[in-house]
Structures are given as structure tokens and as C-alpha cells.
Amino acid sequence: MTHLQLIENSRIGLFGGTFDPPHWGHIKAAMGAADELNLDQLAFLPANNPPHKRDRKFTPIHKRKHMLELCSGLDQRFRLCMIEAEDDLPGTTLHTVERLREIGYNEEFCHLIWLMGSDSLHDLPTWHSPERLLESIEIAIMPRPGYPVDKAQTQFLKEVRILKTPLVKISAEEIRSKQVRLGEAVPAPVAEYIIKNCLYGFAPD
Ligand code: ATP
């Protein structure tokens, strides 16, 4: 997948997550957000070891990166940004945004929008310095089944933009625990990779 590029006046969506694995929920929400926000680039930022999921073991980052790369052909606006892993960032969104600002992604040069599913909006009050995060970047929310936006008990609701992206009822956890059919939950090349590499207990026939 092409890496995120620092292009003047570019409108850039930043989509952070563990992507273990990337699935149609991520992809369709990302495509919808890119359309609605008129984005030139939409970067997936796989997290190395996110602070809010420390109790879990993740598929190694190079494999999650590879699975994202297998999704690159689905939309020509898709990009990869490995800053969290490569710069060994602590994994909080604020640190990531601050790092991007340091390396030139400032608002005078390009416009950044942080994308998150509505489950993350519910969690936002528990994030590291949410007020500072909202001051440092525009945030747009992609609704997710089971996490109604209007039920988010958060004072931040009025400060974020709620998108009309498609509702897709898939989560990575359901894939890992085999509650959904792999072939319906992820793009075909990702399903093939998961089976070939025996990820999540899947195996070739
Ligand atoms: P897990 O089940 O492992 O917690 P996940 O499916 O929630 O994973 P993550 O990689 O943790 O996926 O999520 C990254 C981002 O994608 C988060 O902002 C999350 O809200 C968003 N997201 C995940 N699934 C969907 C979906 N089906 N629709 C919209 N947004 C989603």
C-alpha cells in the first residue's frame, strides 16, 4: 500500500486501530468517510501495542501491516502510515497526532481528520487528554452497530462530526473467535493470508 504522503492542501483521514485483522467494517466505513469528507488520502495507522488493549496479545505488526497492504487495491485513496510502530510511540492518539504535526503535517500545510468508530466515541472520556486531542485535530465518527451515537455519555459529542457511513456489523473479535464466516468478514486476499499463515486458529483444509 502506498505510504501516506505529505502533499500540500491534501485532505487526510487518519484511521488508527489494531486491525487484527482488517475487515469489511473498517473498509466500508473508511470508504464512506473518504467520500463524505472529500479526502485525498485515507491512512490506516496500525497500533503497535495500544494502551487500552494491554491485556491482549496481538498478531505481530508485520503481519497486520501485510493484511492492510492486501486491502490497498480496494480504494485508490487508501494509504499506510506506520508512524506508531516505527517511531515507537506510546500508542495514544494525542502522541501520534503531535508526532505527525512535528514532521510537517500541520494545518497550514494540509488538513487532518482523525476517524473513529462510535464505540471509540463512547470510550473517549477515558482516553489520554481528550480535550487536548480535540484541540489538536478534527474528529469524525463512523457509526457502528451496537454503539448508538446519541447514547454516548460524553460531553465531547458536540465537538465531533458524526458521519453517515454504512453500518457494518463486523468486529475483529468476532472473526478471531470464529463467530462469523471468514470469507464474508474480510476481503478474499486477507482471508487467504489468514488461512495460509494459520492465524486465529484457521488452517488450510
Ligand atoms: P477488536 O474486535 O479487536 O476490538 P475492532 O473490530 O473493534 O477490533 P479495531 O482495530 O480495534 O477493530 O478498530 C479500529 C477502529 O475501527 C476503531 O476506531 C473502531 O471504532 C473502528 N471500527 C472497527 N470496526 C468497525 C465497524 N464495523 N464499523 C465502523 N468502525 C469500526
- pLDDT tens column, 114-128: 999 999 998 888 888
Strands (E), the chain: 11-17, 41-46, 78-80, 111-117, 138-142, 161-162
Reported as a pLDDT band with limits 50, 70 and 90, residue 18 is: very high
% of the chain exceeding 70 in pLDDT: 98
CA of 164 from ligand 1 middle (Å) equals 16
Whole-number Å distance between alpha carbons of 37 and 4: 17
The larger pLDDT score, comparing residue 20 to residue 128, is at: 20
Whole-number Å distance between alpha carbons of 17 and 91: 10
CA of 17 from ligand 1 middle (Å) equals 7
Exposed (0-12), middle (13-18) or buried (19+): which is 6, by Cβ within 10 Å?
Answer: middle
- Does ligand 1 come within 6 angstroms of the Cβ of 83? no
pLDDT tens-digit map of 22-81: 999 999 999 999 999 999 999 999 998 766 666 788 999 999 999 999 999 999 999 999
Whole-number Å distance between alpha carbons of 58 and 98: 25
Reported as a pLDDT band with limits 50, 70 and 90, residue 156 is: confident
- Does ligand 1 come within 6 angstroms of the Cβ of 20? yes
Residue to substitute in 14, 20, 23, 26 for testing ligand 1 pocket (most ligand atoms within 8 angstroms of CB): 26
pLDDT score of 91 more than 90: no
Answer yes or no: are the C-beta atoms of 185 and 172 closer than 8 Å: no
pTM for this entry: 0.96
The larger pLDDT score, comparing residue 85 to residue 5, is at: 5
What is the pLDDT of the chain when averaged over all its residues?
A: 94
Whole-number Å distance between alpha carbons of 152 and 7: 35
- Does ligand 1 come within 6 angstroms of the Cβ of 64? no
Answer yes or no: are the C-beta atoms of 40 and 10 closer than 8 Å: yes
CA of 117 from ligand 1 middle (Å) equals 6
All structural domains of the chain: 11-169 (3.40.50.620)
pLDDT score of 153 more than 80: no
Task: Write the single-letter amino acid at 86.
Answer: E
Q: Are strands 78-80 and 111-117 parallel, antiparallel or unpaired?
A: unpaired
Q: What is the pLDDT of residue 196?
A: 97
Atom of ligand 1 nearest to the CA of 25: 27
